[in-house]
Amino acid sequence: MDYITLSNQAFIALGSSFILALMVILIVRSIMKNKSPNGLRQELAQKDNFAMGISYASTLFTVLVVTGFLFKNLSFTDIRADTLYGILLMLFAFAYIHIGKNIHAHFILKDFNEEKEIQHKNICAALVESGVMIGNGILVLGLYNWSHAQSLDGLLILAVTFILLQVFMYLNSRWQEYVFSKANQGSSLQNQFKFENISLGLRYGGQTLGACLAIYAGLASAAYFPGKMVENLLMVVMQCGILIILQQLLSALAIRLALPKINTESEIDQQDNIGIASIELAIYIAVGLLLVKLF
């Protein structure tokens, strides 16, 4: 059997990650069930709540991708130590994703109750939440790739850097609100989310994912200085800030080239043109992925 290339460690890693993934699915199912006053089965199968389905799908997608990504980087040369380390990684990763999502819901979009709107079948709210959930998963993976921190001072640097990244998310959201308000006679973007404008949810989610991918690229190209808080924060601000601005400029240029002589603000903001919003979504994500590949 010497021609079989799969090692015992590979099977152990596969089995461990699959078991953990099943546990994660059960945990996510329990959380979603508690979020729904009518029960998850009734919301999805009986009430046909598409918004709840989108929210559930994005949560599952995020936690499973993060689980697979982090376990992929474990060597499993020491099974017990690596398994314990992997579980701790999962706990920290999911905690950061949960914190990031709550920061966005309660501080960045404080005038818009996502959970309540999702229960009322607001698909726009589900798309906004999905972009934030997946985006925070990308931020967590970017931080892990950047530092691989295991010491206490490294974990402190990660925590402060994560809060700094939430500031970037705040600024990105405020910029979107400013652009919307300017194009719509001072109207509030958060209030408009309540009217179930699906195209707005697609655009907001796309811009959020694009910004998070730009941050991931910035972290991938930034140097990490063990034990040095100020140097790391300055490096992250510079690298991620530049790439976010670059992502926004390149996306805006690509949209103008792809949709010539089309008033995208009017089509999305006022006419709920899902086709135009889908094109913008694709461009934001594609430009973000291009930056990740390049940097």
Mind giving me the DSSP string for the chain?
-TT----HHHHHHHHHHHHHHHHHHHHHHHHHHHH-TT-HHIIIIIS--HHHHHHHHHHHHHHHHHHHHHHHT---SSHHHHHHHHHHHHHHHHHHHHHHHHHIIIIITTT--HHHHHHTT-HHHHHHHHHHHHHHHHHHHHHHHHH---SHHHHHHHHHHHHHHHHHHHHHHHHHHHHHHHHTTT--HHHHHTTT-HHHHHHHHHHHHHHHHHHHHHHHHS---TT-HHHHHHHHHHHHHHHHHHHHHHHHHHHHHHSTT--HHHHHHTT--HHHHHHHHHHHHHHHHHHHHH-
Stretch 204-233: mean pLDDT: 93
Question: In whole angstroms, what is the distance from residue 236 CA to residue 220 CA?
Answer: 10
pLDDT at 115 over 50: yes
Domain count, the chain: 1
Stretch 270-293: mean pLDDT: 94
pLDDT at 78 over 60: no
Stretch 145-173: mean pLDDT: 87
pLDDT at 280 over 80: yes
Give pLDDT tens digits for 42-58: 777 777 888 988 988 99
Stretch 196-221: mean pLDDT: 94
Question: In whole angstroms, what is the distance from residue 107 CA to residue 70 CA?
Answer: 29
Q: Establish if 55 belongs to a structural domain.
A: yes
**Residue 4: band (very low, low, confident or very high) from pLDDT cuts 50, 70, 90:** very low
Q: Establish if 181 belongs to a structural domain.
A: yes
pLDDT at 17 over 60: yes
Terminus-to-terminus CA distance in the chain, angstroms? Answer: 41
Q: Establish if 220 belongs to a structural domain.
A: yes
What percent of the chain is predicted at pLDDT more than 70?
87
pLDDT at 186 over 90: no
What pLDDT score does 25 carry?
80
Stretch 185-202: mean pLDDT: 91
Q: Establish if 1 belongs to a structural domain.
A: no
Stretch 267-272: mean pLDDT: 89
Do the Cβ atoms of 128 and 201 come closer than 8 Å? yes
Cα angle, residue 125 at apex, residues 124 and 129 outer, rounded to 5°: 120
Stretch 256-284: mean pLDDT: 91
Q: How many CB atoms lie within 10 A of CB 122?
A: 26
Average pLDDT score over the chain: 86
pLDDT at 242 over 90: yes
What percent of the chain is predicted at pLDDT more than 90?
50
Q: Establish if 2 belongs to a structural domain.
A: no
The count of residues in the chain is 295
By residue range, what is the domain housing residue 242?
A: 8-294
Q: How many CB atoms lie within 10 A of CB 58?
A: 20
Q: Establish if 114 belongs to a structural domain.
A: yes
Q: Establish if 276 belongs to a structural domain.
A: yes
**Residue 69: band (very low, low, confident or very high) from pLDDT cuts 50, 70, 90:** confident
